[in-house]
Structure 1
């Protein structure tokens, strides 16, 4: 019979109605596809079987995570991700439905015929063990705990390898003075502290506090007392250890606690960094109202959140099958306009929105470089499948930020005091410089 790769590529292009953006090497060593395109490798027949059972992103993800599909050693992961992203955005691909009916049509029968002749037809392979399986009511507290544990409780040593010594798992802020990822993360944390107007005596709540890096910086450099909450057991354990080691346990408390369970407001400032993506659209107004109620009048909220682009009117939001199955179960992205509207509906006055989209692309590329540099240790810590999940999702996300398919924004909002006072300085330059509270334009009403 003819070479396997030639048959597979020909049949697949017939089904899709367009040429592939990749070269394909099959398990028999044969290669087919456009010259000069990135080369992917089908290690065995099971790779094709996964794609037949789940055509599209989920099948590709399962094949890659399991190792049935791989990249040639000389192939650049970012080049593959970019080629696939642009391919899926083609009008003929976006309008294509691949299901049983399509596979039983003439082009689909050709592909199934090739798969049969090459021995790729068979029972549906089990998903890789790294795939999440959520149960219970969406965004119930128990289900949210399971979803957070799936992503964050994979080992603090693994996260230290990927994130570096800063242990910050959100977009860094790359200033001209910064020379490293650690510098950029410190700049981001300090930017948040300045936006929140922190100073000695401020009481800060950090929602989704991670490994405690923001709490440590705010206590050390701004003299605040603080509470951090997270529902990741491993994050809380390490955050408590770091705070005790820094001698700050008398001023900083970290709790294993859901944001819906914080009983002891009011706080002067609330930070929520990379946490709101886990809340869900149906719960978002409740989330915003809860944080509003936890703030004292005149208090500030800094909400740092990834955003998706708005869809067509009436078009439902469909999360990435790979991201929802392997990376962030039950995670949901919203357009920044929706986020601002819901914060305002909850009672906040939104005072500033800053996009950090390009900064996140740079951050993710640094994380991928860390992972690849420490690949043998990463595999030892979490297994090859999970390491492949993180490599794939971070590289794909870097490109998505670079190409403006997703964004990330810091939204500064205020619970105004009686009389409409915001207690913000008159200009952005003043409050970014850490101007003391109580000097806002509302206090200058007689000034013309």
Structure 2
């Protein structure tokens, strides 16, 4: 009689010391667990070997990406429930070592090893990037990291992002608004915060597929230079600019922001790009942007932030994100971002948290992906599509639960006269 699921349920509960909140369906067809809960589908024994070899986030991610694990039921509910039984990120080795001192845990591990069977360990899925020992953030490593994430295929991104082709947090007038409306409102918000006027020069750092460059040129009469490290993004953005008849107003370059030399600019936007800069390079990033602005020019820095830790020296990047999504990416608390911008010479004038907006945005992206799943897997492969579904759904929950946030920081290169040019009443953005 098939019994893998009840055996697995019992061993996991013995290990974690609590009831398993998910239902399990095992490779032999057996099921166990709460009948109304989402079902964790364990397709083969290899899934157990992945989790035993990397007991935590990375092992779970490898099993998911390879298709060894799946969820039958609401993905968001399942991820919330799983979060309570996965080893704490950044604490895997120490937490497991402490847990193994318990005879019950050791007995459960032995039982799981017998159930998993040989061999150990399975090779990581091919979608996993090679992780450097440390985050170098040289021009070459940044270029490779950007290519891993953004050169997946423009057709795939069209499915996920929709017609707006904006890959950053939208700005929602209401939860039931369309994604396209919310993204247009975000682009307009950025332009108003920068107080763009006809003829002014805007540098868009990390310009993506050109949406902000087009909006700023078409709606505000700005002359825009957009820079990206992604060849695919640049080709797509250039075609969009040409189709809009804006080639005299918007230029798209494949260029590192550190190599831009044609300042000064009246304004700089950096939307969802600074997460790739790295903590060690952040002051250099801020200093370079300060150098490129004219006195009185404004910077709008839109960036995801993590929560600060009591001991920052022990902070470790998310293993799944670093291996499968944003190799070499780093988040830092908003306080560190503001400090580094001011160290570079900026005067920070406004910080707006739009955390809930990103949760709404991510849920729409997941819905877009799921609605065209068959074509998405044809375009990029099932493993890569599974990476994206997991990463976006988990990120939506992280924003909803206040584990991470996103902020727009408006800063000014204030002239020696001290006249910032900002309105007396904040957030009128005139």
With normalisation by structure 2, the TM-score equals: 0.94
Q: Deviations over 1:67-101 (max 9, x none)?
A: 111112xx10000111123445999x9897225x8
User: In the alignment, does 2:250 pair up with 1:249?
Assistant: no
Q: Is 2:24–2:31's contact at 8 Å kept on the other side of the alignment?
A: yes
For residue 305 of structure 1, give the secondary structure of its aligned residue in structure 2.
Answer: strand
Deviation of 1:178 after TM superposition, in Å, equals 7.9
Correspondence for 1:227: 225
Relative to structure 1, the CA distance from residue 128 to residue 357 in structure 2 (aligned partners, 3 Å threshold; closer, same or farther) is: same
Q: Do residues 147 (structure 1) and 139 (structure 2) align?
A: no
Show the counterpart of 2:382.
384
Q: What's 1:22 paired with?
A: 22
Moved more, 335-344 or 105-114: 105-114
Return closer, same or farther for 1:35/1:229 CA change in 2, 3 Å cut-off.
same
Cα distance in structure 2, aligned partners of 1:236 and 1:403: 35
3-state secondary structure, aligned to 2:82: helix
Q: Closer, same or farther in 2 for the Cα pair 1:341/1:62, shift >3 Å?
A: same
Match of residue 31 from structure 1: 31
Deviations 1:396-440 (A, max 9, x none): 111111111111000000000121111112212542xxx3xxxxx
Unpaired segments ≥5 residues, structure 2? none
CA contact (8 A) 1:88 1:94 kept: no
Residues 219 and 225 in structure 1, CA contact (< 8 A), matched pair in contact too:
yes
Number of residue equivalences: 428
CA deviation after TM superposition for structure 1 residue 15, in Å = 2.2
Q: Which residue of the partner structure matches residue 126 of structure 1?
A: 123
- In the TM superposition, what are the counterparts of 1:207-218 in structure 2 within 5 Å? 207-218=205-216
Residues 178 and 184 of structure 1 are in contact (CA less than 8 Å); yes or no, is this contact kept in structure 2? no
What is aligned with 1:50? 50
Decide whether the 8 Å contact of 1:270 with 1:291 is kept in 2: yes
> Aligned equivalents of 2:205 and 2:372: distance in 1?
30
Q: Distance in 1 between matches of 2:291 and 2:365?
A: 36
Q: 1:213 to 1:23 in 2, by over 3 A?
A: same
Tell me the equivalent position of 1:312: 310
- How many angstroms does 1:107 deviate by? 3.6
Superposition pairs of residues 127-276 of structure 1, within 5 angstroms = 127-135=124-132, 138-176=136-174, 179-276=177-274
Q: Distance in 2 between matches of 1:218 and 1:178?
A: 26
Does structure 2 retain, via aligned residues, the 8 Å contact 1:45–1:119? yes
TM-superposed deviation, 1:120: 2.6
- The TM-score with structure 1 as length reference comes to 0.91
In the TM superposition, what whole-angstrom CA distance separates every residue of 1:9-29 from its partner, at most 9, and x where no partner exists? 222222223332322121112
**2: CA distance, partners of 1:372 / 1:365:** 11
CA deviation profile, 1:145-178 (whole Å, cap 9, x unmatched): 1111000000000000100000000000011498
Calculate the aligned-residue CA RMSD, in Å.
2.2
CA contact (8 A) 1:135 1:143 kept: no
Aligned equivalents of 1:421, 1:177: Cα separation in 2: 39
Give the structure 2 partner of residue 326 of structure 1.
Answer: 324
Moved more, 342-351 or 244-253: 244-253
**Matches of 2:321 and 2:312 in 1, distance apart?**
23
Tell me, yes or no, if the aligned pair for 1:4 and 1:30 is still in contact at 8 Å.
yes
Q: Distance in 1 between matches of 2:80 and 2:99?
A: 27
Equivalent residue number for residue 335 of structure 1: 333
- 2:96 alignment partner, SS class: coil
Which residue of the other structure, out of 60, 77, 80, is the alignment partner of 1:79? 77
In structure 2, the CA distance between the partners of 1:119 and 1:109, relative to structure 1 (3 Å rule), is: same
Residue 247 (structure 1) shift: 1.3
Contact 2:87 2:95 survives alignment (8 Å): no
* Structure 1 range deviating more: 8-17 or 22-31: 8-17
Worse overlay, 270-279 or 334-343? 334-343
Question: Following TM superposition, by how much is the alpha carbon of 1:112 offset from its aligned partner in structure 2, in angstroms?
Answer: 4.4
1:372 to 370, 373, 386: 370
